[in-house]
Structures are given as C-alpha cells and as structure tokens.
Amino acid sequence: MRIALVTSLVALAVGFVTTGCSKKAVGAPGEIFAVQVIAVEAKRQPVTESLSLIGSLAANEMVEIKAETEGIVQDILFGEGQRVEKGQLLIRLDETKIATALAEAESNFKLSQANFERAKQLFKGQLISQQDYDQVTASFDVNQATVDRRKRELKDTRICAPFAGIMGARIISPGQVIARDAVLSWLVDLDPIKVELNVPERFLSQVQVGQTLDLKVAAYPTNRFQGKVYFVAPSVDSNTRTTLVKAEIPNPNRELKPGMFANLDLTVNVRENSIVIPEAALSQLLDGNRAIVFAVDTNSTVQLRPVKLGLRLAGQVEIVGGLEAGEKVVVEGVQKIGPGAKVKLAPVEAAAPYLKPS
C-alpha cells in the first residue's frame, strides 16, 4: 500500500512539473508568477457519527376503554379527540338495577349477620351442633361476598380515565345496552411518543441507552424531532438478526402519531475537536480513506499533502491524519498549480461558498 501511495504521488508531481515547464518556456526567463487561488483554513469542530435507520412510532400509553359490567349507557361525558385527565369520568351506566340488587344484598347480609351473632352465642353454650353453626357461618360469608360484589358493580357503572391522554372515537350511543368487556372507546397518551426500531446486530456495539437521535416523518418533511434511547432489548431476534430499540420523543404539539413511519439518525459518537475541510479541497482520491490536498504554507507556496479521511459530511470531510488545524488548503484553482508553486490567496469573501454555515 505504501508503494502504491509513493507511485501515485510521483506520477502526480511529474505531471505538475511537466505542466510548469511548458508554461515557463512561454514566459519571461526567471519570472515568478503567483497564481490566484481560493483557500480555506482547516478548522476544528464537532463531528457527529450516526447510524441511519428506520422505525415506527408508537403511543406512550394506549388502552381500550371497556365496560367492567353490563348495563345501559346513560351519559357519555367526553368528546372524540378531547384531552382528559387521569380519573376523569368518561361514561356513566344506568345504575338502577344494580342499586336495587345492592339494597337487596345488604338486607340479606344484615339478616345473616344477626343469625350469625345468635348462632355464635348458642354454639358457645353448646346449644347447637357444629353443622348448624357452620351453615349459618357459610350463609353469612356468602351474603357478605354478595354485598361486596354488588358494590363493585355499582362502582363499575362509572367508567373513568386510567391516565391522562387523548380520547379516540366513541363506538357507543346513549341508551345502548352493552355487555361486560365491550370496547367503548380508546385512550392514547401522545406526549412523549415512542419510536421503535430494529437495529441490525452488527451495529449493536454502537447502540446504548442515553444516546440521542434525530427523526423525520413524511407528514412534516421540514421538521426534525429529537429524542433519546431508553431501552435496548437484551436479546437478538434469531429470525431477523435484529434487536428492538426504543426511544422517547417529546411531542407537546402532538404532531407525531402512532403508526407513522420514521427515518432516524442515531448518534453513536461525537468527536468534539475533529479537523474538517471542504470536500472540494480533495484534489485526488488515492483509495477509500486517503486523498491528496494542496496545502499553502506561510510563504504562499503550495505543498502536495497526502491526508487520511474520516467521516464524509454535507460538503465537508473529516481529516484524521496529514493536516493540522489552521493550515490552509486550496479549494479552487487546483488545475492551475503544482507542488512548489507560488500562489496568491483570493479575498476571504471568495471562500464563503465552501464554508459550512454556522
């Protein structure tokens, strides 16, 4: 690989020298001609390394609102799409039959309680048998359980929100007879919202709880939403060779909806002091991660410089070897210069198109 690099540099240098000689033959003997070029200073700045993934949005919490007891719908106290608070009354069922049944159960319980107290005294005085006492006790227990059950049924005629959220469509009407466990509506908590993604196992070493991610959805193409990973599954799916990862996204305006498809950039590393130059400064690529740039020294002389490349960014490239921060590299006018050439730097304003907006 070193031999290949030297060969490339020699070939490149010879080409420039040949071009330079042909130009000198036309000009005046001994004349030093400075070519105007545009150069940009290599700067230190944070570089973010991320994985591009896809995911699906899911509600923070989502539950079916069901009837815990059968009955007739008396009042519907929520609007479709309305925000409700935890414990807020949503639906009230007609409690007439249950209230009557509760009153009957309480009456039977009082009678069985009196019988139980009497039987207890008689049993202590050995005036009744164990069998008679057990029958009275069993009747007391049954009536007590019936009262408890009727009280729960009465309470279940009032259906309340289990958590704060947004109500879905209602699928009942006042006066409708509903059965136990019938679905009446849905309740969804959208803030925060969750995103679920399946990360290929080859990337698992780079994913951990606490990492940030950027998210985009088709419904809002110009918006970027940010969130944080809170769960990485402890196992890999043997069929897909992926691991489930979940993140939370703040969603105060409730723009994001469950079921949406999302494109994600998951931040796996941030290098705070990377050296970055415009991609236009790369004069020649030697292989996948090496290139040639033209560096300008303090004497305005061009040097051929091999550099090692890191991440490719939007119009920028990270340099991980061969160049120091503060050095200038030519981004325009490369075709007019060669190693050792004298250059004149264009005004700073000319380099503006090559600078990353701050």
Write the CATH number for 36: 2.40.420.20
Residue 246: what pLDDT?
Answer: 96
Instruction: Mark whether 168 and 86 lie in a shared domain.
Output: yes
Look at the alpha carbons of 218, 219, 220, 222 in this order and tell me if their dihedral is positive or negative.
positive
Residues 293 and 314: their CA atoms lie apart, in Å, by 18
- Average pLDDT value for the chain: 86
Same domain flag for 224 and 293: no
- Lowest mean pLDDT of 29-33, 118-122, 254-258, 344-348, name the range: 29-33
| 148 and 178 both lie in a single domain | yes
213 and 245 Cβ atoms separated by less than 8 Å: no
**Beta carbons of 244 and 180 less than 8 angstroms apart:** no
Q: Which of 145, 146, 115, 147 is nearest to 132 (CA)?
A: 115
What average pLDDT does the segment 71-94 reach?
95
Average pLDDT over residues 176-187: 94
Beta strand 71-76 pairing with 220-232:
unpaired
Contacts of 18 (CB under 8 A, 6+ apart): none
Do both 200 and 251 map to the same domain? yes
CB 275 within 8 A of CB 325: yes
CATH code where residue 111 lies? 2.40.50.100
* 316 touches 279 (CB < 8 A): yes
Kindly state whether residues 57 and 202 are assigned to the same domain.
Answer: yes
* Same domain, residue pair 328 and 253: no
Instruction: Tell me: do 79 and 169 sit in the same domain.
Output: yes
Identify the domain containing residue 33 by its residue range. Answer: 2-46+272-354
Tell which of 143, 165, 188 closes a domain: 188
> Rounded to whole angstroms, how far apart are CA atoms 91 and 65?
10
Domain at 264, CATH number = 2.40.30.170
Whose CA is closest to 277, among 322, 320, 329, 314? 329
How far apart, in whole angstroms, are the C-alpha atoms of residue 135 and residue 138? 5
* pLDDT (tens digit per residue) in 201-233: 988 888 999 999 999 999 999 999 999 999 999
Calculate the dihedral angle through the C-alpha atoms of 115, 121, 126, 127, rounding to the nearest 10 degrees: -50
pTM exceeds 0.75 for this model? no
pLDDT band at residue 26 under the 50/70/90 scheme? very low
Are 215 and 261 in a shared domain? yes
For residue 130, the SS3 value is helix
108: number of Cβ within 10 Å: 16
Q: Print the SS3 string covering 163-204.
A: CCEEECCCCCCCCCEECCCCEEEEEEECCCEEEEEEEEHHHH
Q: What is the pLDDT of residues 96-145, one digit of tens each?
A: 988 999 999 999 999 988 888 888 888 788 888 888 888 889 998 999 99
Residues 200 and 55 in one domain: yes
> Is residue 328 exposed (0-12), middle (13-18) or buried (19+ Cβ within 10 Å)?
buried
Q: Angle, to 10 degrees, between the axis of helix 130-155 and the axis of helix 96-124?
A: 160
pLDDT at 352: 75
- Whether residues 286 and 324 share a domain: the answer is yes
Structure tokens at 90: 């949503």
Do 258 and 59 form a contact (C-beta atoms < 8 A)? yes
CB atoms within 10 A of CB 123: 17
Q: What is the DSSP letter of 300?
A: S
Q: Are both 182 and 200 inside the same structural domain?
A: no
Alpha-carbon distance of 161 to 90, in angstroms, equals 7
Q: Where is the domain boundary, 248, 270, 292?
A: 270
Count: domains in the chain: 3
**32 backbone dihedrals φ, ψ, rounded to 5°:** -105, 115
pLDDT given for residue 31 in this prediction: 52
Last residue of a domain, one of 133, 157, 188: 188
- Residue 93 pLDDT > 90, yes or no? yes
Residues 73 and 151 in one domain: yes
Name the DSSP letter for residue 257.
-
pLDDT computed for residue 335 by the predictor: 85
